[in-house]
Amino acid sequence: MEQFKLFNDREHLSLPQHLMDYVPDFFDKKSSDLYLKIFVLSIPWQQTKVVMYEKEVLTPRLSAWFGDRPMVKGDKRPPIAWTEELWEIKTKVENHTGMSFNGVLLNYYRNEKDSVAWHSDKDTVPGMATEIASVSFGQARNFDFRNKLDHRQQYSLELQNGSLLLMKGDLQRYWEHRVAKSTKPMNARINLTFRKILH
């Protein structure tokens, strides 16, 4: 089974598979479809603003943060308490990985126009441990990686409905990731990234 598609034939360095584990069918289709429906309707989605080149812009996706403490240190908005479904998913992910998490960031990509730009998670969330478990429901979208020092080293992994991607060790240190906009029409996708906040 080939998990990773090579974008660039000139590069034969493979994506560091020791830095990630991908489980395509972590949840069966029935539960995945149900979780998607529940989350679309019941999560208090927000479209956050970021400052770019001195202008405020809306991020091209919706998001929500749940957990035991704020996502970013000093953030005045209290975290939202775990829902039954989020706690259920967290427990299943923890049992599988042997890791423990105290927060989850939900991202909702409504259609092909929604996206997340190149970033690595440690840089954007100070105080965060780097092991992140990413669960996807709904529309399969490409998750791209590129090496921070050599952007020609770029790979793509299609995150399918019900999948679990575990991002480990130094992945955030040496690689960036994104979900690009698509030219093809796309249905709703919700991604959950379980994190351990240390601050």
Ligand X SMILES: O=C(O)CCC(=O)C(=O)O
Q: What residues line the site for ligand X (CB under 6 A)?
A: 105, 107, 116, 121, 134, 143, 159, 177, 179, 191, 193
- Contacted entry of Fe ion, ligand X, none for residue 164, CB cut-off 5 to 8 Å set by kind: none
List of E strands, 68-102: none
Considering the complex, state which of residue 130 and residue 134 has its C-beta at the smaller distance from ligand X: 134
Size of the site for Fe ion (CB under 5 A): 1
Angle at 18 between CA 189 and CA 154, to 5 degrees: 60
- Tell me which residue of 123, 25, 125 sits closest to 71, measured CA to CA: 125
**CA pair distance 193, 72, nearest whole angstrom:** 15
Residue closer to ligand X by CB (options 134, 161) is 134
C-alpha 147 chain-centroid distance: 18
| 115, two tokens | 């996206």
Q: Is 114 in the site for Fe ion (CB under 5 A)?
A: no
Q: In what order do the strands lie in the sheet with 5-6?
A: 5-6, 154-159, 141-147, 175-179, 116-119
Rg of the chain's alpha carbons, rounded to an integer? 16
Residue 87 or 118 having the CB closest to ligand X: 118
How many angstroms from the chain centroid is the CA of residue 180? 13
The residue number whose beta carbon is nearest to ligand X equals 191
Q: Which residue is nearest to Fe ion (CB)?
A: 121
* Nearest to ligand X of 159, 197 (CB atom): 159
**Residue 172 interface partner, choices ligand X, Fe ion, none, CB cut-off 5-8 Å depending on type:** none
Where in 115-174 is the site for Fe ion (CB under 5 A)?
121
Query: By the criterion CB under 5 A, which residues form the site for Fe ion?
Result: 121
